[in-house]
Amino acid sequence: MGKTDEEKAAKKAAKKLAKQQAAEAEAAAAAKAEKKAKKKRKSEAEDGEPEKKKKKKDKKEKKEKKEKKEKEEPAADEPEETPAAAEPVAPSPVAASPSADGICKCFLGNLSYSIEDDAVREFFKDCGPITDIHWLTDKESGQFYGSGFIEFGTPEEAQAALAKAGEDLMGRPLKIDLAKPRAPRADGSAAGGFKKKPFEVKPLGPKPDGCNTVFMGNLSYQIDEDAVKTFFADCGEISNIRWLTDRETGDFKGCGFCEFASSDSVDGVVAKNGQDLMGRPVRLDYSTPKPKKEW
């Protein structure tokens, strides 16, 4: 018995309705999935932000540690004074740690290369009158290293000056620390009775093919990129400077690498091996690339 027109129409309508409902269900599922994915992306972005800030904070702390580390070994032709924290103290069961009491002199670092006496006196005028200013320069070329010493009339004035650490002085955050005279030496002995080891200019290693990087050792712990660029100003364009630091603490190890834009520059650079850089004879040599690992 054949179906009536009404039955056919009803069946067609039901089929159309089912198709429409399936489409709506599929659209709803897609919208739900998109909403869930969007929520996940937002959550990941929020979770990633603290991690990003943490890395930035860790990097800043490492940099501050490097700036504060001034404990360096005695070297030939050092300046007459070094930062108070920089003088190595021999272990002794009797002698106490050196006190900052009575120190009127301060070490200044990270200075603008346009700095002048008047600018320094103006900057510290609320601490007290400065009785002496001594800039650190290259003994041969006279080039300024971006650091120096200032002296006040009283220890209290020097202590007041320390509070200005990190303040802007001619566009640069100031580094400052107490400085004390180097311990007197007799018969070549250093502070604490240790015998001073003379600096030895070692022969250069072979120059690798295409070498454009030099190793720098025996560096001052107050070294910065500006001092290196000034020291190598006549050698060629510097493309990168990398400091060697402790993997765990981030402390500066007193050495690093300097990369030049041209391989021809490094011959003039290593010729400066043993010359004075910020009061220390710098150790220079060609940098040999690490051999590739064989798996």
Burial, 30: exposed, middle or buried (Cβ in 10 Å; 0-12, 13-18, 19+)? exposed
Distances 261 to 213, 232, 234, 236, 238 between C-alpha atoms, Å: 9, 13, 13, 8, 6
Average pLDDT in the chain: 75
Q: Which residues pair with 176 in a beta bridge?
A: 108
What are the structure tokens assigned to 216, written together? 């720098």
8 A C-beta contact, residue 64 and residue 109: no
pLDDT at residue 220 is higher than 50: yes
Instruction: Indicate the length of the chain as a whole number.
Output: 295
pLDDT of amino acid 260 = 94
Instruction: Walk me through the domains of the chain, giving residue ranges and CATH numbers.
Output: 81-90+100-193 (3.30.70.330), 213-286 (3.30.70.330)
Q: Which residues, at least 6 apart from 148, have a Cβ–Cβ distance to it below 8 Å?
A: 107, 108, 111, 133, 134, 135, 136
Each residue's pLDDT tens digit, 11-58: 777 777 777 887 788 888 777 878 777 777 766 555 554 555 566 667
Each residue's pLDDT tens digit, 238-290: 999 999 888 888 888 889 999 999 988 999 999 998 898 888 899 999 987 66
pLDDT of amino acid 207 = 87
- Selection from 175, 215, 206 nearest residue 86 by Cα: 175
Q: Report DSSP letters for 140-153, one per residue.
A: TT--EEEEEEEEES
Q: What is the pTM of this model?
A: 0.40
pLDDT at residue 95 is higher than 90: no
DSSP state, residue 160: H
